[in-house]
Chain A
Amino acid sequence: MNPVSKLFLLGSVLMLTACVGAPKKYDYAQFRTEAPRSILVVPVINKSVDVNAPDYFLATIATPLAERGYYVFPVNMVKSVLSDDGLSDANLVHSGDPRRLGELFGADAVMYISIERWDAKYVVLSTTVTVELNYTIKSAHTGEVLWSNHQQVVYQPQANSGGLAGLLANAIVAAIAKAAPNYMPLAHQANNGAINFKGTGLPAGPYDGLFGKDMSDY
């Protein structure tokens, strides 16, 4: 087998395993018992040095959750209302009782997200952009953890030419990526990886035709 075919095969196998689902299935027993219809996304904890990361991330999370079939509380409005109630501190909200939030908003479940990494590191002619997130959904009725997921997405932009010109091109690409890293595609990819993968993602919500019928996958 020539090297190209080997690479081709490796690529295919990697993509297949990634898409068909992770080998270990998440334990959905509690999730199924409660079958939440609505998800309240609360302010995001930020462990990165980018102070804007939580807000930027918030602009990516409502769409994939709603498309999965859940009612998602209006994220920007929730953020403002919590802030008006003196609850703008994400750490405070995360350590609080999800049942209290459930009463305030009438939510079935609360989604807690923490940003572990949101950075661009420059090392020898190349920049690595990393977004790493932890997702947890807790019941707003019992306070129990219903689901959790961890995602790390890494992007290393490369110029496509070889030789000295390629080195130079790479250096320019890396410098641009370092100066103005674009985290949003990585955040979208992380959300997709967390929510939409069979066996580890979120079961279909009530506005999806498969609600309660995807037991074999989740």
Chain B
Amino acid sequence: MTVRVLLITPILVYSLAGCVTNHQRYGWGSYDPSLYAYYKDPTKEAALAESLAAIISTADSNHAPVPPGIYAEYGYLQLQEGKNLAAVELFKQEESHWPESKVFMDRMIKVASAQTATSTTK
């Protein structure tokens, strides 16, 4: 037993000191496991959407930054649900938080707005 503890302790210490870089920059919530669960079972899209919404609401209340891509991912799921106005709002959020996303988001806002225009004229 002593041997095992001796062996594990230095490894833990070195891992902490040398490998693990820093605390998390963003509040990821359950992003990784939710996306994994969704890929494993695509019927779990609602659960993925919920977890993305939770990342956004927790971050807004905790002042922990929303990670890059989260507003857009959530917006895209809204778009697939036909909630185009909500999608456009989220794409705009992504763009205002992350200027790097401008080209992509502008394109998606155009797509979502065009679809809205078509559906209202019908």
Return chain B residues, CB-CB under 8 Å to A58: 35, 39
Contacting pair B10 A67 (CB below 8 A): no
Give residues 184-213 of A contacting B (CB, 8 Å): 184, 192, 196-197, 207-208
Output the least CB separation between A180 and chain B (Å): 12
Contacting pair A75 B19 (CB below 8 A): no
Return chain A residues, CB-CB under 8 Å to B35: 58-59, 75-76
Return chain A residues, CB-CB under 8 Å to B68: 62, 66, 70-74
Contacting pair B19 A66 (CB below 8 A): no
A16 touching B14 in the complex, CB below 8 Å, given contacts A56-B36, A63-B32, A184-B36: yes
**Segment at the interface with B among A7-15, A23-31, A111-119, A122-130:** A7-15
Task: Give bound CA distance, A136 to B55, whole Å.
Answer: 30
Return chain A residues, CB-CB under 8 Å to B69: 62, 66, 72-75, 77
Please indicate which of the listed interface residues B10, B19, B94 has the most CB atoms of chain A within 10 Å of its own CB.
B19
Flag whether B56 is at the interface (Cβ < 8 A). no
Return chain A residues, CB-CB under 8 Å to B33: 59
Interface size band for B: 35 or more
Contacting pair A8 B101 (CB below 8 A): no
Chain A residue at minimal CB-CB distance from B35:
A59
Please indicate which of the listed interface residues B36, B68, B76, B108 has the most CB atoms of chain A within 10 Å of its own CB.
B68
**Can you list, as one digit per residue, whether each of B67-110 has a CB less than 8 Å from chain A (1) or not (0)?**
11110110010001000000000000010001011111001100
Interface size band for A: 35 or more
Contacting pair B76 A74 (CB below 8 A): yes
Output the least CB separation between B83 and chain A (Å): 15
Number of A-B contacts (CB under 8 A): 116
Return chain A residues, CB-CB under 8 Å to B36: 56, 59-60, 184
Give residues 54-97 of A contacting B (CB, 8 Å): 55-56, 58-60, 62-63, 66-67, 69-77, 80-81
Please indicate which of the listed interface residues B21, B28, B101 has the most CB atoms of chain A within 10 Å of its own CB.
B21
Interface of A is mostly: helix
Contacting pair A73 B26 (CB below 8 A): no
A74 touching B14 in the complex, CB below 8 Å, given contacts A8-B7, A52-B39, A207-B25: no
Contacting pair A15 B39 (CB below 8 A): no
Return chain A residues, CB-CB under 8 Å to B103: 104-106
Output the least CB separation between B95 and chain A (Å): 10
Flag whether B24 is at the interface (Cβ < 8 A). yes
Binding site for A on B (CB under 8 A): 3, 6-7, 10-11, 14-15, 17-19, 21-22, 24-26, 28, 31-33, 35-36, 38-40, 67-70, 72-73, 76, 80, 94, 98, 100-104, 107-108
Q: Which 4 A-B pairs have the closest CB atoms?
A: A106-B103, A19-B18, A74-B69, A71-B100
